[in-house]
Structure 1
């Protein structure tokens, strides 16, 4: 009984699934192109073609064609030039649909039914709508370019996109599109100058600026943004990024000495276990009992500590071509030189882990101010780059 119920249930699911994926079901839902695709897939390569399936294909094709042709005609008659792009998409859709049907023709069922498809001469219609769509984009680009010539970079970028759409969708070569593309590119790019100003009152090493600026500005450049290091005066900048150094602190070279003693209890051989009378204790087998001998040892440590620090602070400032401040943030970097050199007298076993790590080290020459300032420049590069990247919406 249970098996029979399962069989009936499975049969019902299969029937419902088949109904929901039939061309007729898709037609009733208005999904004509999906119905066409399904019917073509089921008819392709079959010798005995079902009349019902061919009729479904005819109906879906006719409905889809009528819908697209009617919509394309209405849009074309609206008088709105911006609709020509949509009209052309419809014409291409009609063309693709007809191209899918043609390989099946003549389409005859096993019962002798011959399918009838009304194919339209779409090539001329598509050509006209393509020319109208391209002309619309061309005129739109002209208007946007005029705004770009008056300083609207976003309009220039939109003009560039419109001209690219002509090339990608309609015509590879069209009027003076190439010249206009170059102009739109030139008008749409934001030029960003970057420079370092030392306002700290202290001298910087000769290579400091080169080291600080060598943080890969090419990684920050985008389609519409170009960074320039120390730009020439004749370059018109849209934005200016300045890192103003207002603080350079270099500590003196410090050497301090510390004397301390490490003590520890350690094993040092063994000794007999004695009872309360002073006799050697025995185990159950009569052997003498022994135990580790614990002794307290010490070591006197002389520690020499060397230290020197450099700190650079400044302000990262972004302004537009009118001098209006768009972004400002303080930034700093610090470099610390430390060295421990230790010697000891006494028992090495008394040394702590920390002391052992420093025994044998020797005092080192202090790094120069210039070398430490260059290290600070290296540490500043990454945060400056990240700030410029995170503020990409400014440009």
Structure 2
């Protein structure tokens, strides 16, 4: 195998790597230039260009990040330590990169920022923690939710920081809106079981989707009688103007015809039978049975503390069951493919009313869940 044929390609890669480092340096992308030069020295420890430009690139990168860190420290921003931490981490990354190459260490003595990062992280966590404590002392739901975010940020910076986890849970409970979903009034005992199934599915869905971190839904039957439970909102549900199982039967007939070619009684000079056009006819007899169901879900959300109506609306829903079958009389050749699709079948009974009721609630359910997502997105 001739290894020399790959030599030009290797030389091109080395040359491109060197030039890419120089290009990054000339464009002021000093951190990236440091990484490019170190990679070059890992392959060729004696590369003159990399050895010459690496110290300059590192010095320029340090000057850039140090300047940004000092600028952040001089600001009055409560969260300045998070910006400082980012700059220190960028410089520590360059430190680790240079230490990966003995040749790079020969020309650059990188600075270790691990202790500075730890200090900045502690200060950043303390700043978030202090903001959370201050917000929590306000004692209202909106401030408690903001406090929750601050304590959560402190814990992301420093896990197990002080008692931030406990205070975060406390802030969550204060900021939480407890919504009790009522039993459904359908004004018809016959459909009560189906209505309860609808409500159960709705509550489960609202609980699982977590429409809002600080909004929690409860089934009225499960929290009734709990002394320590304090609801904030009450959602009242009621089905109105619903009609299940209104049947319509439509019978009609339709005449169809088609011109087709059939063999005639004469032959041409070659003895081939001559085709002739004839018109064939048939009559379709179609029965279409339709069962329509429709209804309205009326809902109202009120504030338990002052009885204010926060939102009220009605959500319509409908479902149409249909069965169609037919026969024909006449010449079958007159039928089109669409006509044939109407034939066959049989007269079958519609689903029971409870099933029809559940079907008409499906579009109501989708629209209602969408309304609630929109309403509670503002909390």
Q: TM-score, normalised by structure 1?
A: 0.69
- Once the two structures are TM-superposed, the CA of residue 44 in structure 1 deviates from its matched residue by 2.1
Alignment: residue pair count: 355
- Once the two structures are TM-superposed, the CA of residue 139 in structure 1 deviates from its matched residue by 0.4
Partners of 2:264 and 2:28 in 1: how far apart?
A: 101
Aligned residue for 1:284, secondary structure, equals coil
- Once the two structures are TM-superposed, the CA of residue 324 in structure 1 deviates from its matched residue by 4.6
Partners of 2:262 and 2:29 in 1: how far apart?
A: 94
Query: 2:293 — aligned with what?
Result: 310
Query: 2:168 — aligned with what?
Result: 181
1:203-214 counterparts in 2 under 5 A? 203-213=189-199, 214=201
Q: 1:348 to 1:202 in 2, by over 3 A?
A: farther
The answer as to whether partners of 1:262 and 1:352 remain within 8 angstroms in 2 is no
Of 345, 362, 381, the match for 2:365: 381
Of 147, 150, 154, the match for 1:159: 147
Query: 1:32 — aligned with what?
Result: 30
* Higher helix residue share: 2
Q: 1:198 to 1:58 in 2, by over 3 A?
A: same
Aligned residue for 1:44, secondary structure, equals helix
Partners of 1:328 and 1:35 in 2: how far apart?
A: 62
Query: 2:62 — aligned with what?
Result: 65
1:280-359 counterparts in 2 under 5 A? 283-284=268-269, 306-319=289-302, 322-340=306-324, 347=330, 349=332
The answer as to whether partners of 2:211 and 2:376 remain within 8 angstroms in 1 is no
Whether 1:137 aligns to 2:119 is no
Query: Quick check: 372-381 or 333-342, which moved more?
Result: 333-342
Query: 2:356 — aligned with what?
Result: 372
Partners of 1:268 and 1:328 in 2: how far apart?
A: 67
Structure 1, unpaired ranges of 5+: 1-14, 109-113, 274-281
The answer as to whether partners of 1:65 and 1:94 remain within 8 angstroms in 2 is yes
Partners of 1:219 and 1:156 in 2: how far apart?
A: 23
Q: 1:196 to 1:101 in 2, by over 3 A?
A: same
Whether 1:198 aligns to 2:190 is no
Q: 1:250 to 1:45 in 2, by over 3 A?
A: closer
Aligned residue for 2:377, secondary structure, equals helix
Q: RMSD over aligned Cα, in angstroms?
A: 4.3
Query: 1:229 — aligned with what?
Result: 219
Partners of 1:361 and 1:246 in 2: how far apart?
A: 36
- Once the two structures are TM-superposed, the CA of residue 22 in structure 1 deviates from its matched residue by 0.8
- Once the two structures are TM-superposed, the CA of residue 172 in structure 1 deviates from its matched residue by 2.0
The answer as to whether partners of 1:246 and 1:313 remain within 8 angstroms in 2 is yes
The answer as to whether partners of 2:182 and 2:235 remain within 8 angstroms in 1 is yes
Of 230, 237, 243, the match for 1:249: 243
Partners of 2:292 and 2:112 in 1: how far apart?
A: 82
Partners of 2:29 and 2:345 in 1: how far apart?
A: 82
- Once the two structures are TM-superposed, the CA of residue 247 in structure 1 deviates from its matched residue by 0.7
Aligned residue for 1:173, secondary structure, equals coil
- Once the two structures are TM-superposed, the CA of residue 261 in structure 1 deviates from its matched residue by 7.7
Partners of 1:297 and 1:74 in 2: how far apart?
A: 92
Partners of 2:277 and 2:67 in 1: how far apart?
A: 106
Aligned residue for 1:246, secondary structure, equals strand
The answer as to whether partners of 1:191 and 1:239 remain within 8 angstroms in 2 is yes
Query: Quick check: 332-341 or 31-40, which moved more?
Result: 332-341
Over residues 284-334 of structure 1, what are the superposed CA-to-partner deviations in whole Å (9 max), with x where a residue is unaligned? 36x7977769587776x8766644432212334455555555554432222
The answer as to whether partners of 2:85 and 2:121 remain within 8 angstroms in 1 is yes
Partners of 2:326 and 2:103 in 1: how far apart?
A: 99
